[in-house]
């Protein structure tokens, strides 16, 4: 896991995260790969082109260990082939704590994390 080098004016730092996750909605489940992750959303990769309803609310489950997982409710923002960008609509306190720790470890800077948290609260 490494921070993404980006020169644009993003409000949230994204981190590369090579990990498998599960996306679900209304009883359907899709395996996916986390390409990158931030406090405000994620980019996911799928085995086939993503052709699901972009208006629906999806639940992402990212296992970190047997006891720990990050769970987010997401909406699709953009789709290009087998990759889809999602915006976080809701995340519980336990998941945000785990995600915060993960982002901070990968950014290597609590100042960058604090900037992201400030942008999240705006």
Among 55-64, 85-94, 95-104, the least confident range: 95-104
Token pair in block for residue 44: 């996911």
- Residues 5-11: what's their mean pLDDT? 42
Q: Is residue 13 pLDDT above 90, yes or no?
A: no
**Considering Cα of 99, then 64, then 88, then 18, what sign does the dihedral take?**
positive
CATH level 2 (architecture), domain 15-112: Beta Barrel (2.40)
Q: What is the 3-state secondary structure (H, E, C) of 11-39?
A: CCCCEEEEEEEEEEECCEEEEEEEEEEEC
Residues 65-95 pLDDT 10s: 889 999 999 999 999 999 999 999 999 999 9
Whether the per-residue pLDDT at 109 is higher than 80: the answer is: no
Domain coordinates in residue numbering, the chain: 15-112
Position 40 scores a pLDDT of 85
């Amino acid at each position: 896991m490494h921070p993404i080098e980006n020169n644009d004016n993003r409000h949230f730092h994204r981190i590369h995260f090579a990990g498998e996750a599960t996306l679900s909605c209304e009883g359907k489940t899709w395996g996916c790969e986390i390409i990158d992750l931030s406090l405000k959303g994620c980019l996911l990769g799928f085995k086939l082109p993503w052709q699901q309803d972009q208006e629906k609310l999806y639940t992402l489950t990212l296992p970190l260990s047997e006891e720990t997982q990050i769970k987010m409710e997401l909406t699709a923002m953009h789709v290009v082939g087998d990759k889809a960008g999602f915006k976080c609509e809701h995340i519980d306190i336990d998941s945000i704590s785990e995600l915060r720790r993960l982002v901070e470890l990968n950014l290597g800077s609590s100042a960058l994390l604090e900037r992201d948290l400030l942008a999240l609260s705006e």
